[in-house]
Amino acid sequence: MEDKKFKRTTVTAALPYANGGVHIGHLAGVYVPADIYVRYLRLKKQEVMFIGGSDEHGVPVTIRARKEGITVQEVVDRYHNLIKKSFEDFGISFDIYSRTTSKIHNKFASDFFRTLYDKHELVEKTEEQFCDEVTGEFLTDRNIVGTCPRCGAEGAYGDQCEKCGATLSPDELINPTNKNNPGHGLVKKATKNWYLPLNNYQNWLKQWILDEHKEWRPNVYGQCKSWLDMDLQPRAMTRDLDWGIPVPVEGAEGKVLYVWFDAPIGYISNTKELCDAQPEKWGPWQKWWQDPSSRLIHFIGKDNIVFHCIVFPTMLKAHGDYILPDNVPANEFLNLENDKISTSRNWAVWLHEYLVDFPGKQDVLRYVLTANAPETKDNNFTWKDFQDRNNNEL
C-alpha cells in the first residue's frame, strides 16, 4: 500500500460504538492491522497520523442506556473511557483517541452539514416512517423488531436478520413492534428529513472505484460493485431522535444528524483537535485532509464497507474540499470457538478482561490475532490455538 507520490499518510481506524467494550473481533478486523501498518510507516520515518475515537451517537448507545436505566451521557462516558484505556494498555498507538460528543466535533459536523445544505447538495423529502402508536416516537430500523420474512426467525431487526443475514426493511418484517416497548403497535406518520442523493454520484463512484481502484481488496471491490450495479437511492442524513447533533437548519427541530453522517466526520474533527493542541508537531489539520499530496487510508470491518467507500466519499466529494480515500482495507470476521461473536449474547473475548486475566501478555494476543488474521475469509479463534501458538511458536 505504498506510493511515492504522497508526502504523508492519514490512517483512520473505525470508530467503535461507546456502548460496550472492544473484543477480539474488533482487534483482528481493524485495530491490530492498522497499528501494524502505522508502526511500519513510522519505522520508515514517513510522516503519518493515526486517528481513532469513540462513536457516541446512534441507536446502540441509547438502547444500552435504556437497558441499564441510566442516561445516555453516562453510558458513553463509561465506555469511551473503558475503550480508550483498553487501547492504551494494549499498545494500539493512536496519535489521538477522541470522541464524537466533543465540542470540536459537534461544531465541525454541524458546519459540514450546513455547507452541503447551502450548496443545495441535500434533498429535502417528506416520507412516511414507523412510529410507536403509544409514545409517538419515530423509530429507527434497529429499534423495530419482528419475524424475518426469509427464515422465520423471531427478533429480526428492521434492517437485518442476524439469524440468516438477510438485509431487510421494516416494511418487510412480519408483526413489527417497538424493540423497547414490546407489544406496542406501529403506525406510519409523515416526517421531513434531508437526504444525500447518492444517485447523482453513481457514475462518478463507478469511475472512481471500479475504474481507478481495481487494486482494492476483492471483498471491498466486490461489495462496492454489487452496490453500484444496483441503482443507488438517496439516503437520509438526518433522523427523528433526541440523542445526537442537532440538525443546524430552520425547521429541523427534534432532528439530529444520522450517525453515519456524523461518525466519519469524527476522523476529521479528531485530526483538528490534535493539530490545534500540537500545531508545532502536526501543522494545520487541512494538510492531512485537503492537501492532494496526503494519502488517506481507512481500516474498517467488512460491515462498514458501504459507508466508507460510497456514503462518506460522496459526502467529501459533495463538500468539495477534501481528498478521497486511497485504500480501504477491510478484514472479514473472526469467530470464537466456531461460533459468531455476539455482544448481545456476551459471546466474546473482551479486551479489558483479557488485560486483567493475562497481565503483560499483550504481545501474545497481538501475535495470535495477526497469525490468524481474517484477511480473506472469516477465521476462528480458539483457546487451544492460543495456547499452542504461545507454547510452540513464542
pLDDT at 341: 92
Orientation of helix 103-118 relative to helix 312-319, angle to 10° = 70
- The Cα 83–Cα 70 span in angstroms is 19
pLDDT at 53: 98
pLDDT at 174: 93
pLDDT class of 115 with cuts at 50, 70, 90: very high
pLDDT tens column, 42-51 = 999 999 999 9
Architecture of domain 8-120+260-393: 3-Layer(aba) Sandwich (3.40)
pLDDT class of 134 with cuts at 50, 70, 90: confident
- SS3 state of residue 363: helix
Residues of the chain with CATH 3.40.50.620: 8-120+260-393
CA distances from 301 to 142, 154, 339 (A): 19, 26, 18
Residues of the chain with CATH 2.170.220.10: 123-194
pLDDT tens column, 313-336 = 999 999 999 999 999 999 999 999
> What class, spelled out in words, does domain 123-194 have in CATH?
mainly beta
pLDDT at 2: 55
Mean pLDDT of 341-361: 93
Mean pLDDT of 50-58: 96
| % residues pLDDT > 70 (the chain) | 99
Per the listing, cell 459507508 goes with 307
Range 124-154 burial, b when 16+ CB lie within 10 A, else e: eeeeebbbbeeeeebbbbbbbbbbbeeeeee
Is the pLDDT at 3 greater than 60? The verdict is: no
Mean pLDDT of 230-255: 93
pLDDT at 263: 97
pLDDT tens column, 79-102 = 999 999 999 999 999 999 999 999
pLDDT tens column, 283-294 = 999 999 999 999
Contact 20, 343 (CB under 8 A): yes
Is the pLDDT at 259 greater than 80? The verdict is: yes
pLDDT at 15: 97
pLDDT at 217: 96
